[in-house]
């Protein structure tokens, strides 16, 4: 029996290899979010670019998110898979590193962001389609911990380089992006493509080969045949409608627009929680809002990212056992309370309470990692149908970068103009998120991706409301019946295809006999 491998790996080790590669992409994501934070307090950097005011400085940081937003938009319109994203990010890094004027630096930020925007659209989908339902959340949580490692490297590299004179203190962190791009460029060609994407592209043999390798089975194993049958069944149902970019705005028989809208809102609520205030502008916040010195602000910000990473280990064990909905709501409640306490402490304004606010912002990161970090990145990929997974995922990531840009752009002027009230704004968004999740977000944890379509299927000839879908997704008996129905339909699809193939073969043999 033939057991397919990639890089000599099969089964869970191969899944870990895919997760590692995806993690490097998110490592780059975290690094690129974080390294500009140290520049906002660097005299050498600020002097070169004319000591920009708070609004211009915010745009220099947030311009990266604009590029990411256009990268996600490109994925939505074109819908291809990998391409040369790492190369694009490298070009952007080189442009930033060699800058001696604001226009070139901004172009470099936009170009690098464009590449990463495409990358962050594809990576969660690739990982979710390669893992098993039971380990999908944990693999994403492990991947997102690497995002935080990127933030840690960025913050501590900024801190270390701050002791060096001259422009090397900011040029070297810019150039360091290329290291991650090189790793991606080397590894990606040797790892399996998503079996679901291959099957949808009509490459059934390659899909079977990749699936067998990812499950650690031989090509004719019952587990492989069954899962491939489920994938083919879902594709057969979805291709009854013509697939195009406009389908994300239609029902399409699969509640397509509703599911895309939920994915979009998940990214919206994640960013309006205020998390990127600390990820992208931590040193600025600690120096200008809490009143620390430059070096103390860099030190405390670097320490926060280490704490952030340690907190991110908790979801490895919670994400697949607690469920998506509960974690969303627990995270939002905790983040809302932390932001409210920060507003009170900063508003009173004593030095002791200022440090108290820093401690609360540390705790904010714990609630974010538990509720929204890895949970949000996996949720749209689980929720969206195969036909809309790439373009719908691009819309969701477009929301991510659009509102990351908004938050990073408005935070320095907010802190300058309204001070402690800035934290109240983010607290309100976190509290509003809770009822939206409760009423509108179905549970998808441990559910086969193909079974989610059945969750949105008609009930007695009528399309169910989102409230009905949410209610059913919490019913263990209903969900168990969904899984059984999927298995039965998939088996029927495999049997029917076998009959058709046998008939074709018999017809071919008859034609050969006639010709003879």
- Taking only the tens place, the pLDDT of each residue in 148-187 is 888 888 878 888 888 888 888 889 988 998 888 888 888 8
How far apart are alpha carbons 462 and 433 in whole angstroms?
29
How far apart are alpha carbons 347 and 333 in whole angstroms?
21
The pLDDT score that the predictor gives to residue 244 is 60
Closest CA to 208 of 192, 238, 228: 228
Rounded mean pLDDT of 176-204? Answer: 86
The pLDDT score that the predictor gives to residue 95 is 92
How far apart are alpha carbons 388 and 359 in whole angstroms?
42
The pLDDT score that the predictor gives to residue 445 is 84
Q: Which domains, from first to last, does the chain contain?
A: 12-189+225-440 (1.20.1250.20)
Residue 507: burial class (beta carbons within 10 Å; 0-12, 13-18, 19+): exposed
Backbone angles phi, psi at 9, to 5 degrees: -110, 150
The pLDDT score that the predictor gives to residue 500 is 43
The pLDDT score that the predictor gives to residue 510 is 46
Comparing 462 with 506, the larger pLDDT belongs to: 462
Which residue's entry shows tokens 């168990």? 480
Alpha helices in 272-372 (DSSP H): 275-288, 294-312, 314-322, 324-348, 351-368
CA distances from 63 to 101, 111, 270, 481 (A): 15, 10, 19, 48
Beta bridge partner(s), residue 449: none
Comparing 370 with 490, the larger pLDDT belongs to: 370
Report the chain's mean pLDDT, rounded to a whole number.
80
List, for residues 448-467, the tens digit of each pLDDT value. Answer: 777 888 888 777 778 888 89
* DSSP assignment of 439-482: HH----TT--HHHHHHHTS-BTTBPPPHHHHHHHHT-HHHHHHH
Closest CA to 131 of 141, 140, 142: 140
Which distant-in-sequence residues (6+ apart) come within 8 Å of 52 by Cβ? 46, 60
Q: Is 152 helix (H, G, I), strand (E, B) or coil?
A: helix
CA distances from 343 to 174, 353, 354, 413 (A): 33, 10, 10, 16
Residue 457: burial class (beta carbons within 10 Å; 0-12, 13-18, 19+): middle
Closest CA to 419 of 338, 346, 348: 346
How far apart are alpha carbons 347 and 357 in whole angstroms?
10
The pLDDT score that the predictor gives to residue 502 is 47
């Amino acid at each position: 029996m033939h057991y397919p491998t990639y890089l000599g790996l099969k089964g869970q080790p191969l899944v870990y290899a895919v997760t590692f590669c995806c993690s490097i992409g998110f490592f780059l994501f975290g690094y690129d979010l974080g390294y500009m934070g140290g520049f906002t307090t660097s005299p050498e950097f600020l002097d070169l670019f004319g000591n920009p005011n708070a609004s211009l400085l915010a745009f220099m940081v947030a311009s990266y998110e604009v590029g990411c937003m256009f990268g996600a938009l490109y994925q939505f319109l074109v819908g291809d898979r990998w391409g040369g994203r790492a190369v694009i990010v490298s070009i952007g890094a080189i442009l930033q590193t060699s800058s001696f004027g604001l226009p070139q630096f901004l172009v470099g930020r936009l170009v690098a962001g464009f590449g990463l925007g495409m990358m962050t659209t594809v990576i969660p989908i690739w990982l979710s389609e390669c893992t098993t339902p039971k380990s999908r959340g944990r693999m994403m949580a492990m991947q997102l911990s690497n995002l935080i490692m990127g933030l840690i490297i960025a913050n501590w590299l900024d801190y270390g380089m701050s002791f060096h004179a001259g422009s090397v203190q900011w040029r070297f962190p810019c150039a360091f992006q290329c290291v991650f791009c090189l790793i991606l460029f080397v590894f990606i060609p040797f790892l399996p493509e998503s079996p679901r994407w291959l099957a949808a592209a009509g490459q059934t043999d390659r899909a079977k080969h990749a699936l067998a390798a990812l499950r650690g089975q031989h090509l004719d194993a019952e587990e492989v045949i069954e899962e491939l049958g489920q994938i083919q069944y879902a594709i057969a149902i979805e291709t009854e409608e013509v697939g195009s970019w406009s389908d994300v705005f239609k029902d399409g028989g699969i509640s397509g627009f509703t599911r895309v809208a939920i994915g979009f809102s998940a990214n919206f609520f994640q960013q309006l929680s205020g998390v990127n205030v600390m990820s992208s502008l931590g040193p600025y916040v600690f120096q200008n809002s809490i009143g620390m010195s430059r070096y103390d602000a860099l030190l405390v910000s670097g320490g926060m990212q280490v704490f952030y990473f340690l907190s991110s280990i908790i979801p490895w064990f919670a994400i697949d056992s607690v469920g998506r909905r509960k974690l969303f709501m627990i995270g939002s409640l905790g983040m809302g309370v932390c932001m409210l306490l920060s507003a009170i402490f900063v508003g009173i304004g004593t030095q002791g309470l200022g440090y108290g606010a820093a401690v609360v912002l540390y705790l904010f990161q714990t609630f974010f990692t538990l509720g929204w970090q890895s949970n949000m990145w996996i949720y749209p990929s689980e929720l969206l149908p195969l036909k809309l997974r790439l373009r719908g995922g691009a819309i969701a990531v477009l929301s991510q970068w659009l509102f990351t840009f908004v938050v990073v752009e408005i935070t320095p002027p907010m802190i300058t103009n309204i001070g402690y009230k800035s934290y109240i704004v983010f607290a309100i968004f976190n509290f509003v998120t809770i009822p939206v999740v409760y009423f509108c977000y179905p549970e998808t944890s441990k559910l086969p991706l193909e079974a989610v379509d059945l969750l949105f299927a008609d009930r007695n000839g009528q399309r169910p409301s989102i409230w009905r879908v949410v209610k059913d997704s919490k019913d263990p008996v209903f969900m168990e019946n969904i899984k059984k129905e999927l298995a039965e339909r998939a088996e029927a699809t495999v049997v029917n295809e076998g009959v058709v193939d046998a008939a074709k073969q018999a017809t071919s043999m008859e034609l050969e006999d006639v010709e003879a």
